[in-house]
């Protein structure tokens, strides 16, 4: 199920609720968000291991598209702090000094755009040319989790870097405004799957959701509505092939039943929800063992 809630924060940060579910068994909640934030805080976001994530890649986005974003809408700091000892700047530059450093930041990105453009004209691949644009890039991330408390405790705190603090506050606002759908055992949390697509069987829906999580969007990279056949092809390229690229199958989950809850509350990094990745990996292990016995 796709949710239409989108909350805009400061400096181009935005949060959309993709899917939001609650277990009828124990009331636990699982939420999938789509985020847009400056790439320069991505390393801080990645430190939270309870998150299942997929993110837009500099290796996949055309240089021309990235150049347009950096030139016209560069990611910039939210807080232009004065230089002082320590990790935090308590006060900001003001007046003419703030104007100058903001202009320098933006113009530095435009200078780098010229270098990236020149590299592509010579024939350099986007997976290299895009890298020098990253300080001015926005990144798009899909994140799913059942446990958010530690993230909000650390990142919604005033001591956090201002940009990730703004992201955390916006995420909290989006989740507070969202009403989770109640699911029973055997019903699935399926990010990017729309209600009208429920006519397909579950195996297709799981694969469609995984492919769209890999793209970090319901839409394709060129902005078109998804082709289910292409979703299934992408799933096979990521999950069926070797080595397996399993992160897109971490976002789908179904509530644990009472017996499972008695034994363990965790499936992968989810609490009270069975993660699709664990089912796929278990089935793959069983298949390999059966093949070994036959051999």
Domain presence at residue 216: yes
Q: Determine phi and psi for 23, rounding to 5 degrees.
A: -75, 130
Q: Verify that 125 and 222 share a domain, yes or no.
A: no
Tokens of 9: 């924060």
Q: Verify that 73 and 207 share a domain, yes or no.
A: no
Q: What is the pLDDT of residues 76-104, one digit of tens each?
A: 999 999 998 888 888 999 999 999 999 99
Domain presence at residue 220: yes
Q: Determine phi and psi for 94, rounding to 5 degrees.
A: -135, 170
Question: DSSP assignment, residue 136?
Answer: G
- Residue bearing the bigger pLDDT, 265 or 32: 32
Q: Verify that 249 and 114 share a domain, yes or no.
A: no
Domain presence at residue 188: yes
Q: Verify that 13 and 149 share a domain, yes or no.
A: yes
Q: What is the pLDDT of residues 123-148, one digit of tens each?
A: 999 999 999 999 999 999 999 999 99
Q: Verify that 145 and 255 share a domain, yes or no.
A: yes
Computed over every residue of the chain, the mean pLDDT equals 91
Q: Verify that 115 and 52 share a domain, yes or no.
A: no
The pairs formed by 116-122 with CB atoms below 8 angstroms and a separation of 24 or more are 116/63, 116/66, 116/67, 117/63, 117/67, 120/63, 120/64
Domain containing residue 70: 64-77+92-135
Q: Determine phi and psi for 78, rounding to 5 degrees.
A: -85, -30
Q: Verify that 176 and 192 share a domain, yes or no.
A: yes
Q: Verify that 157 and 285 share a domain, yes or no.
A: yes
Is pLDDT at 288 greater than 80 in this prediction?
Answer: no
Q: Verify that 19 and 165 share a domain, yes or no.
A: yes
Q: Verify that 48 and 184 share a domain, yes or no.
A: yes
Domain presence at residue 86: no
**What total of structural domains would you count in the chain?**
2
Q: Verify that 144 and 101 share a domain, yes or no.
A: no
Q: Verify that 119 and 153 share a domain, yes or no.
A: no
Q: Determine phi and psi for 77, rounding to 5 degrees.
A: -60, 150
């Amino acid at each position: 199920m796709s949710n239409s809630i989108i909350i805009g924060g400061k400096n181009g940060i935005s949060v959309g609720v993709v899917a939001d579910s609650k277990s009828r068994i124990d009331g636990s909640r699982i939420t999938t968000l789509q985020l847009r934030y400056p790439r320069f805080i991505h390393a801080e976001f990645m430190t939270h291991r309870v998150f299942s994530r997929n993110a837009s890649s500099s290796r996949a986005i055309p240089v021309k598209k990235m150049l347009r974003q950096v030139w016209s809408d560069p990611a910039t700091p939210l807080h232009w702090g004065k230089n002082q000892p320590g990790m935090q700047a308590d006060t900001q530059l003001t007046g003419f000094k703030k104007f100058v450093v903001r202009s320098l930041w933006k113009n530095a990105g435009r200078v780098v755009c010229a270098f990236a453009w020149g590299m592509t004209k010579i024939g350099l691949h986007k997976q290299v040319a895009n890298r020098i644009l990253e300080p001015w890039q926005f990144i798009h991330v899909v994140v799913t989790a059942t446990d958010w408390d530690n993230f909000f405790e650390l990142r919604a705190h005033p001591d956090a870097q201002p940009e990730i603090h703004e992201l955390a506050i916006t995420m909290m606002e989006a989740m507070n405004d969202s009403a989770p759908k109640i699911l029973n055992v055997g019903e699935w949390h399926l990010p990017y799957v729309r209600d009208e697509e429920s006519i397909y069987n579950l195996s297709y829906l799981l694969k469609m959701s995984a492919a769209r999580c890999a793209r970090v969007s319901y839409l394709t990279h060129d902005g078109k509505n998804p082709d289910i056949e292409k979703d299934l092809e992408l799933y096979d390229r990521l999950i069926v092939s070797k080595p397996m690229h399993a992160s897109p199958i971490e976002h789908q989950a179904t509530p644990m039943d009472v017996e499972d809850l008695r034994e363990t509350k965790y499936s992968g990094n989810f609490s009270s929800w069975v993660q699709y990745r664990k089912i796929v990996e278990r089935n793959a292990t069983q298949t390999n063992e059966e093949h070994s016995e036959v051999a």
